[in-house]
Chains A and B, each alone.
Chain A
Amino acid sequence: MSGATIRQATGPAYSRILGIGGVRGENVVTNDDVAGPIDSSDEWIRQRTGIVTRRRAGAQTTVLDLSEAAARKALDAAGLSGDDIDAVIVSTVTYFHQTPAAAAVLADRLGATPAAAFDVSAACAGYTYGIAQADALVRSGTARHVLVVGAEKMSDFIDPTDRSISFLLGDGAGAAIVGPSDTPGIGPTVWGSDGGKAQAIRQTHAWSDLREDPELGWPTLRQDGQTVFKWASFQMAPIAAKAMAEAGVSPGDIGAFVPHQANMRIIDQMIKQLALPDSVAVARDIAETGNTSAASIPLATERLLAEGQVGSGDLALQIGFGAGLVYAAQVIVLP
């Protein structure tokens, strides 16, 4: 046994989000555009989901392209450049390479090398999982500026004839830069998983099944919509409430509520459960963008800021939840 003691890293007392940026898929896809193969209608989709259009990327656009565009906007907003970043986290479930990670390639594209780089697989909770990581990395002194990207090209995993989830989904990326702060900027993360409900949102089959039986074709997504609705509406509201309690704030202190953009009816039910006052600006980007999984929270946040519904320094309660099932919530100070 060595007699030497090692030094452990320590970091700044506080972290915060320094800048946010996002991009949506370039194509506007209407409800009428997706209704045919599922024998649905604009009216039905609006009534059940609040979605009016979803944004989807063109065939040539990749998850990396979306990530890079969002990251550059976040860097600009933070007044930083690639070489200021020393860790890159990409949260995605739609990147086509098992390895190497999207984050390493993205770091190189941004001139952020030799930043530490890794991907996170937490579906629609990917962004809030990423913020939890970034906050911990900064405050532990492991990294100074962390780039967190939630990026998805969901349209690569949809089946136009599927009634359960495909018509909800859109493409986009949102990014945030997390760095040191003189004042508290990211509240405690309340997070968890429930793998007992792994089948509630799923891939039709594993890639290995496709190797056994090529006839199966490309895997796509499915969900048990009512199970997910009930879980999200009623079990996620207490998680969001706990994030407020742990941050030491009450609903009246919150400037914006930014839940994952899954379904407008889930959002409305959560507001009711949380008893949020009318003064809280609620993210409703789903109407235009659809469900973009890990990208939805930063995209919706950027919109609220751009529209002036909230301002820098206001508090936002954000909660991601989705396939796993997994979830993470935290209160943040808006950049």
Chain B
Amino acid sequence: MAYTDQEVLAGLAEIVSEETGLPTDAVLLEKSFTDDLDIDSLSMMTIVTHAEDKFGVRIPDEDVKNLTTVGDAVTYITGAQA
């Protein structure tokens, strides 16, 4: 069963919150991981790994740097679902 954009955003917000301590409602589509949420590249790899597990998708390391905003990640994950 494929996850909707809304479900992916909600799941991602939980993962980001767990990693950073930010409230889930701070994780909005237009937020930049680095500039707005203060997530460095190692934390980003951690978030990506948890997202892969949660949504059953593969996010290759070389694609991670293209995920600038939360919205980029949501689009990538919904698109990567088979």
Residues of B within 8 A of A224 (CB): 61
Can you offer 9 A-B residue contacts whose CB atoms are under 8 A?
A: A224-B61, A225-B41, A226-B44, A229-B42, A230-B48, A233-B46, A234-B49, A265-B42, A269-B46
Q: Tell me whether A227 is interfacial, beta carbon within 8 Å.
A: yes
> Which B positions have Cβ atoms within 8 angstroms of A?
40-42, 44-46, 48-49, 61, 64
Give the complex CA separation of A226 and B64 in angstroms: 10
Tell me whether A48 and B49 are in contact (CB under 8 A). Answer: no
Give the complex CA separation of A234 and B42 in angstroms: 12
Residues of B within 8 A of A48 (CB): 40, 42
Interface size on A, residues (CB 8 A): 12
Give the complex CA separation of A47 and B42 in angstroms: 11
Q: A226-B42, A226-B45, A233-B46 are in contact. List 20 more A-B contacts (CB 8 A).
A: A47-B40, A48-B40, A48-B42, A224-B61, A225-B41, A226-B41, A226-B61, A226-B64, A227-B61, A229-B42, A229-B45, A230-B45, A230-B48, A230-B49, A230-B61, A233-B45, A233-B49, A234-B49, A265-B42, A269-B46
> Which A positions have Cβ atoms within 8 angstroms of B?
47-48, 224-227, 229-230, 233-234, 265, 269
Min CB distance B48 to A, Å, is 8
Residues of A within 8 A of B61 (CB): 224, 226-227, 230
Give the complex CA separation of A227 and B62 in angstroms: 9
Give the complex CA separation of A226 and B44 in angstroms: 9
Residues of A within 8 A of B40 (CB): 47-48
Give the complex CA separation of A261 and B61 in angstroms: 23
Interface centre among B40, B41, B48, B61 (most CB of A within 10 A): B61
